[in-house]
Structure 1
Amino acid sequence: FPPPPCSLGARAFSSRRSVLGIGIGIGGGIGIGAATAAAVVVSPAASSSSLKMSSSSSAVGFVGLGIMGEGMAARLLSEGVAGTPEKPLVVWNRTGSKCDALKSKFADKSIEIKSTAREVVEACGVTYTMLSTPEVAEIVFGAPDGDGVLGGVSEGKSIVDCATLAEDDMMRMSREVSSEGGRFLEAPVSGSKVPAAAGALIFLCAGSRELFDEIEGSALNAMGKASHFLSDDVGAGTRAKLVVNSLMGTMVAAVAEGLNLAESVGLDGDTMIEVIGQGAIASPVYALKGPKMLRGDHAPNFPLKHAHKDMKLASDMAAKAGVEYGVMDKAEELFRAAREDKELNVADQDFSAVFEKIKKEKK
C-alpha cells in the first residue's frame, strides 16, 4: 500500500508484538502510522497475470462481509486505506446484498463489487478474507470451479486471512497460496462485532513478515488497536486465537452460572455485577455480558454457534497437545448443549445466550 496521508494529527500508534499482551478486544481506540509501500517489479518476460497485478496492485480486496467483515471493510473505507478512484475497495460476499449495502453506506467511496472471490483477488494486490467457519472457508477459498480465492492467486498476490479456522486449514491455505507465487499472512482477530466496527480488533499474525510489515501501518491499524507478529510459521496465530477464545468462552459460562446462582438464592443480579466489577476478578467480559444476560438481550455480536466452534477447535488442539483441559472442556460441552437445543434456538444469538441454557437446566 502507498503511505497514508500525513495529516493524521496526534493519533499515534505503537505496535505491540509480544503474545503476552493479548487482550480480549472489547472497546479501545486506534491510530494510524506510516505504511510501507510494496514495490512490484515486472520483468519483460512477466506473464499477463503479473502485468495485470502490477497495474491494479493499489486496489484493496475484501472477501466476506458478515458480522465481522462488514465492520472491518468499513474501517478500511472510513480511514482512507481504500475507497478512492486510484485505490478502490473491491469486494465479494456470498450474499450479494451485503456488498450492495456497503456500497450504499459509503456512496462517496470507490467500491467495486465482483461476481466471484477469484475476481477480487485478480483485481488487487492484497486481499483480506473473513469467513465464518472452516466449512465456508474451504468452499470460498478453493472452489472447485476455480472461482474461489485461490483461483485468483498468481505471482505477487497477497492473501491476509482474518478468520478463526483450524490450524491445519491455515497451513494448507498458506501452502496453496505460496505454490502459486503469492504471499500469505495468517491474521485471526480477537474481538467481535462492536470492536470490528470501532477499529479495536487485535490481530494475531503469522506467516509472511514482509507482508505484515507492509500492511501494519495502514490496514491493520485502521481495523485494529494492536497487531502482534507471533511467528514466521503459519499456525501460531490460530493457536493464540483459540487460547484467547476458549478462555473467553469459559469466562462467559462462569459468569452465567454465577448470575444464575445469585438470582436463585435471592440476590440481585445487577448488584452482583457491580460487586464483581469492584474486585480483583473485574473483567470487561463480565461488565459487558452480565447485564445482557439479566435482560435477555442476546443480539448477536459473537454468535453462540461461532463461539462453540472456536471452543471445540481449542479442545481438539488441547487433546492433540496432550494437555489437561478439563475446565474449558466442560464449558465447551455447555456451549454445545446450548447450540444443539432446538427448543431454545439460540445458536444464532450472542454467546451470552448460554445463560438461557443454564436457566433452563436449573433444578
Structure 2
Amino acid sequence: MLTKESKIGFIGTGVMGSSMASNLIQAGYPVVVFTRTKEKAQTLIKQGATWKDSVAELAQESDVIITIVGYPDDVEEVYLGRNGIIANAKPGSYLIDMTTSKPSLAVEIYLQAKEKGMFALDAPVSGGDIGARSGKLAIMVGGEQEAFDNVLPIFEVMGQNIILQGKAGAGQHTKLSNQIAIATNMIGVCEAIVYAKKAGLDPSRVLDSITTGAAGSFSLSKLAPRMIQGDFAPGFYVKHFIKDMTIAIESAAELGLSTPGLSLSLKLYKELEEKGEADSGTQALIKLFDQTN
C-alpha cells in the first residue's frame, strides 16, 4: 500500500522531469533523484530532494521509481542494464516510465519486472513544459489495473487527464497517436501564421479569432504565440520530437499503416535539425516557412 511516506525515486530532470519531480516534492512525497548531470538536479535538491549517486542506489531505496529520459536506448539501459532498475529495485516496487519510447520495449520491461515481483507501467505524457509546471499533463498509461489504481494519487500530482489505455505498451501506442496528430498540425500552424503575415494581417489578432474555432489546438493556442514572438526556447525539444516521430513511423510500419503526413513532418524537422535547431523548441519549425525569423 503506497502512502505519502512512500519514497519516490525520480530519474531524469530535464525540461519536463524537473517540474514533475518538483510537484511531487511540493505535494509532500519524499523524493530521491538521479540524473547524469548532477547540476540539473540542484534546484530539486534545494527544494528537499535527496541526491543518489547511481540508478542502482536510487532503485534500492525507492518504493516507486519514475523515469523520464531521452531515448529508447536510455530507457533500456536504465531499466534492463546490469546496474539498472530491475536488477536493483525491491520486490513490490512500482516502476513508471514516462519517457516516450517503443511499445515493444515497454512490454519487455513489464515482463522482466513481473518476473521479479515488481509492477511496471508505461505512462508517457503530453503537455510540454507548461503542463509539467502546472501539474496538468495528459498521462497515457499501459499496464495492469491494480498497479494503476495504486499509483493514481501520484499521477494526480503531475497530471489531470489520466487514462489507463490497456495492457503494457498501450500507453506508448497512445502517445504515438498523440505525436502523429501533432506532427501535421504543426505544419498547418506555421503555414497559417506565415499566410496571415503575407496577407498584411496582425498574426496575433488572427490567433484571437481562430484559436477558439474549429482550428483550435494546443499548438495553435500555446505554441503559435511563441512563434510570433520569436521565442524558440524548448518546451519540447526538436531532437526529441524527431525521436518520437521516428518511433511512430516504425510502429506504424509494423502495423501495416502508411502515414504520409507524419513522414512529411519528420522530413521537415530533420531539415530544421540540420540547420542547428536540435535543441530548440518544436515551434522553431516556423523558421523553415518564415524567412523573417
The two structures have a TM-score, normalised by structure 1, of 0.76
Q: Residue in 2 aligned with 1:230?
A: 165
Offset of residue 101 of structure 1: 2.4
Does residue 1:137 correspond to 2:75, yes or no? yes
Partner of 1:59: 7
In 1, the alpha carbon distance for the partners of 2:19 and 2:289 equals: 31
Deviation at 1:3, TM superposition (A): 4.8
Cα offset for 1:347? 1.0
Equivalent of residue 303 in structure 1, options 215, 232, 237: 237
- The aligned runs of 1:147-226 (5 Å cut-off) are 147-216=83-152, 218-226=153-161
The reply to whether residue 103 of structure 1 matches residue 45 of structure 2 is yes
CA offsets 1:171-214 (integer angstroms, 9 cap, x no match): 12222222222111111112111211111011111113221111
The one-letter code sitting in structure 2 at the alignment partner of 1:349 is: S
Amino acid at match of 1:189: V
| Counterpart selection for 2:18 from 70, 77, 93 | 70
**Structure 1 counterpart SS, 2:65:** strand
Give yes or no for contact 2:8–2:62 (8 Å, CA) kept in 1: yes
Structure 1 equivalent of residue 51 of structure 2: 113
Partner amino acid for 1:348?
D
Question: 1:121-177: CA deviations, max 9, x gaps?
Answer: 11011111111211222233333xx32222213422221111100112211222222
Q: Percent identity?
A: 28
2-structure distance, mates of 1:307, 1:59? 31
Per the TM alignment, residue 298 of structure 1 is displaced from its structure 2 partner at its CA by: 0.7
Determine helix, strand or coil for the equivalent of 2:6: coil
Q: Hey, what does 1:39 align to over in structure 2?
A: none
1:359 positional shift: 2.7
Larger RCO (CA within 8 A; separation ≥ 6): 1
What 5-or-longer segments of structure 1 have no aligned partner? 5-56, 83-87
Task: State the secondary structure of the residue aligned to 2:69.
Answer: coil
Distance 2:68 2:137 in 1: 13
CA RMSD of aligned residues (A): 2.0
Higher helix proportion (structure 1 or 2): 2
Partner SS, residue 201 of structure 2: coil
Counterpart secondary structure, 1:359: coil
CA separation in 2, counterparts of 1:176 and 1:153?
A: 12
Bigger Cα Rg: 1
Q: What whole-Å deviation, never above 9, does each CA across 1:286-308 have from its counterpart, x for those lacking one?
A: 02111211221111111111112
Amino acid at match of 1:288: K
> Do the aligned partners of residues 291 and 208 (structure 1) sit closer, same or farther apart at CA in structure 2, a change above 3 Å counting?
same
Picking from 255, 261, 274, the partner of 2:195 is: 261
Secondary structure at the residue paired with 1:67? coil
Q: 5+ residue gaps in structure 2?
A: none
Q: Which amino acid aligns with 1:97?
A: E
After TM superposition, the runs of 4+ consecutive aligned structure 1 residues lying more than 6 A away are none
What's the CA shift for 1:361? 11
Q: Tell me the distance in 2 between the aligned counterparts of 1:330 and 1:237.
A: 25
Per the TM alignment, residue 2 of structure 1 is displaced from its structure 2 partner at its CA by 4.5
Contact 2:245 2:266 in 1 (8 A): yes
Q: Distance in 2 between matches of 1:210 and 1:123?
A: 23
Distance 1:339 1:159, change over 3 A: same
Q: How many residues align?
A: 293
User: Contact 2:52 / 2:58 at 8 angstroms: preserved in 1?
Assistant: yes
**Contact 1:304 / 1:346 at 8 angstroms: preserved in 2?**
yes
> 8 Å contact 1:72–1:199 — kept in the other structure?
yes
SS in 1 for 2:66: strand
